[in-house]
Structure 1
Amino acid sequence: MAFEDFLHVTVCTLGRPLMEEEYLQTIAKHTAGAKGKRGCDVLAQMFANLIAAMESTRRDILGDLFQGGITYGEKGQFLTPEPICEMMARMNLLAEKTGLEGRRSVNDPCVGSGRMLLAAADLQPNWHFVGQDVDLRCVRMTAINLGLRNLYGHVVWGNSLSNTCDLIYETGRIQLHGNVIRKTNRVPLPNRDPEEFAITPPDEQGAAPAPANQPSESGNPIIPKKQLKLF
């Protein structure tokens, strides 16, 4: 319960002043005791520790804590290891950054703490990141991870298989009030057919590959790997 309240309070803090009422209702459960030793003081210190940890490492701090110390695989919830997320992003996304003009959407229907989206954002930070999960804790972890990195995205609380939706958070694109997380009622997705990309993962140094039409040193044309076309 304390971890759930921490996630809720953090989302409300990043969504101020539009989630002030939710913040006050949640924090009211943690105000008993002497100043400095109250639950709300601990929550504030947890937020400070989270920011400090995220500034010193690129790791998914919330996901590690959630899986290792909160759920222990509850309901079969095991998050994809971050190196696997990075590998999948390199295999499936364009290596050369497209900028805002070439923005596309990345969707994770079982988002967990947002690791797959964060790995995609390392390659294409200007894209649109969409995640969905049946666990509200996961939804809020993803919203926090995207919001603190100012990544534009939408996180849906609902079942991807039955296409239900109970809550949507929008992140990034800092608004007039300075909030980086907002509630919304829609996910703006492009109305177009799935794309098939010519994919050649970057080398170990992260450099983009040469254009596919250029010949190799042997004189034969380089044939790029292809992403499986989505149905």
Structure 2
Amino acid sequence: MNQLNGFSQYILQIAYKYGLNSVFDDFLEMTVCALSVGAKEDRYHEIVRNYEKPDAYLMAEAFGVLVLEMDNNGAGLKDGFGDFYMEYISHGHNGQFFTPEPVCELMVRMTNPVGFGERVADCCCGSGRMLLAAAKIERDCLFFGADIDRTCTMMCLINLCLNGLLGEVCWMDTLANRFYTGWRIELHPEHGVPYIREITETESYMVLRLPEKKLELVDNPRPAMGAGQQLLFEF
């Protein structure tokens, strides 16, 4: 069951008029725009114009409630979206059952109980639970996530940014090494707070730099791993 009851109520209230999938995706993209510190202002206004003014205010209130609930009584590092997404959006479609947070924490501690190196990556990140669990051991790493589902990448991106974790999230097919969109979470040069910056494929660390003679692997990847399988590794 979704633990973010206040956030859920706001989103479901708005969705009654506009449709749940559209509202949730719009909310995520508007949040990414807001966390981009002015760089995506035009896109933000383009989305918000699709909503009547009272509903746009509800979107803002939903964001405020989300931040409060993700605070997790001061502990932070709580997945702000995963349970809501599974319960109301994916319904398990395409095997999208995210690993329970306590299991993520167990897996991370089994992988490396002491601490991680400089960078930690999850090439099938979902809403970012494995990376958040890794941050509970060592939050000063750079965190890298990728997923073939754009909605999942935005959930992960927001989860990392609102928890002050720096790194990169890419919407891409990791197995085929196909890049669609990527974002970097960095410290703002003027304000010194984490913010989101969209990046190109050439800037991405998650894209493999294959030599020309190996390019045939991109179009003929190995069969996909089991649905819902997640990997956590250092690089």
Show CA shifts across 1:82-117 (max 9, x none): 111101111112515x7xxxx422111111000000
State the aligned residue count: 182
Show CA shifts across 1:138-197 (max 9, x none): 0100110000111111000010110011111111423326561111122347x9xxxxxx
- In the other structure, the counterpart of 2:153 is 139
**1:156 equivalent in alignment to 2:198:** no
Gaps of 5+ in 1: 192-228
- In the other structure, the counterpart of 1:83 is 102
Contact kept, 8 Å, 1:85 with 1:115, in 2: the verdict is: yes
Query: 2:199 aligned to 162, 184, 187, which one?
Result: 184
Gaps of 5+ in 2: 1-21, 209-232
Contact kept, 8 Å, 1:157 with 1:167, in 2: the verdict is: yes
Query: 1:67 aligned to 64, 74, 86, which one?
Result: 86
Cα offset, 1:24, TM superposition: 1.1
- In the other structure, the counterpart of 1:42 is 58
- In the other structure, the counterpart of 2:72 is 56
- TM-score with structure 1 length normalisation? 0.73
- Structure number with greater CO (CA < 8 Å, separation at least 6) is 2
- In the alignment, the residues of structure 2 paired with residue 93 and residue 15 of structure 1 have an alpha-carbon distance, to the nearest angstrom, of 33
- In the other structure, the counterpart of 2:19 is none
- TM-score with structure 2 length normalisation? 0.72
Say what the alpha-carbon RMSD is for the aligned residues.
2.2
Q: As a proportion of its length, which structure holds more helix?
A: 2
Q: How does 1:1-231 map to 2 (within 5 A)?
A: 1-30=22-51, 32=52, 35=53, 38-57=54-73, 58=76, 59-96=78-115, 103-176=117-190, 180-185=195-200, 186-188=203-205
What is the percent sequence identity of the aligned residues? 35
Is the alpha carbon distance of 1:145 and 1:129 closer, same or farther for their aligned partners in structure 2, counting shifts above 3 Å?
A: same
Which of the two has higher C-alpha Rg?
A: 1
- In the other structure, the counterpart of 1:196 is none
- In the alignment, the residues of structure 2 paired with residue 175 and residue 169 of structure 1 have an alpha-carbon distance, to the nearest angstrom, of 16
Instruction: Give the 4+ runs in structure 1 shifted more than 6 A.
Output: none
